Amino acid sequence: MAQYIIKGGKRAEGEVTISGSKNAALPIIAASILNAGKTTLYNVPNIHDTQMMFEILKKLGGKVTKKNNKIIIETNQINKYEIPEDLMRQMRSSVILAGALLGKRRTATFSYPGGCDIGTRPIDLHLKAFEKLGINIEQNYGKIACSCDKIIGKKIDLDFPSVGATENAILASCMAEGKTIITNAAREPEIVDLQNFLNKMGAKIKGAGANTIEIEGVKTLKDVSYNIMPDRIETGTFLCIAAATNGNMILKDVDTEHITPIIHKLEETGCKLNIEKRKIEIQTPKKLKAIDIKTMPYPGFPTDMQSIFVSMLTIAKGTSVVVENIFENRYKFTRRTSKNGSKNKYRRKNSNNKRCTKAIWHKCKSNRPKRGSSFSISRNYGKRNNNN
């Protein structure tokens, strides 16, 4: 679909079933390379990024079949080890294929994924983890060629709990000789989902969800079927849409344990949440209260929810203070507020730390996303407000 036309002025209400998680699906699709066999996945979200990942797998020699609600991936014929540059540039997360290719085939060539609109997004931590595992890295005109005869388990201490670097280190080491220990690992639920998937395939990994992950290398992995976890960012987005439009909503197939910081912040705005293990109901007040937010690595408040909360908070009573600590460029969406006919009053302060930017939002309206989401929220509110 090329465009969405949003006619605002309505409460967003009803029941929604949450899709599988994009950020869990991508590394799991990459991990299907490791068994050189058959992987059956359920609950894969049908979105551009997962389709791109399938395209890359096919280009490497893999086979992907869609049957009803399941995806079957066959990786026994994979015979190419270079991730095509054009696809790599389109989707930064394709760098995760490097760990899987190295883990199984001991060779991977890829290019720098480049920066994107939320920040520079370097991959130095991924490369450092590979080097620790004894992998040779040669860089030539933006191409990175990684190879080794064998991978030997080592201690990898990450300078920052990077989600992608943690995943790449797990993928590269799960068929290594001996034990790998990753310290200062990212603790995101998607890493736990990757561990669960790989262990079901026959890997020996423990500790995901905590700071230290231990991987005992195995020689072979088997065919596997797996159900991808629910998307916590989609869950949070629907809750914010309800809150911004004074709607009541029931969300099903969620994992409420993954969204604790989102729930706490929504409760601070005055929303009431009725929480069960796989279901959540939100009742929203007529007027939201302003709140303060600082994005942090999990289990802190997720950076992926920042712009969505900002859009919602522009209609809250009072001033909200939002601090982005993960990506230095994640306030870009505020620049186009005039197109939305709104007055966005916000002040921005840069701290010494490049990752930390502080913005103070006054009572106002604004637009644009975590891509479309926060835009839709402000647009819907805008129309509602105009009608009032």
Active site residues: 116
CB of 23 to ligand UD1, least distance (A): 3
**Residue whose beta carbon is closest to ligand UD1:** 164
Q: Which is nearer to ligand UD1, 76 or 211 (CB)?
A: 211
CB of 50 to ligand UD1, least distance (A): 11
CB of 79 to ligand UD1, least distance (A): 26
Q: Which is nearer to ligand UD1, 163 or 322 (CB)?
A: 163
**Radius of gyration (C-alpha) of the chain in whole angstroms:** 22
Q: Which is nearer to ligand UD1, 36 or 112 (CB)?
A: 112
CB of 75 to ligand UD1, least distance (A): 20
Q: Which residues would be at the binding site for ligand UD1 (CB under 6 A)?
A: 23, 26, 93, 119, 121-126, 160, 162-165, 186, 190, 303-304, 326-327, 355
CB of 164 to ligand UD1, least distance (A): 3
Q: Which is nearer to ligand UD1, 255 or 304 (CB)?
A: 304
Q: Which is nearer to ligand UD1, 12 or 97 (CB)?
A: 97
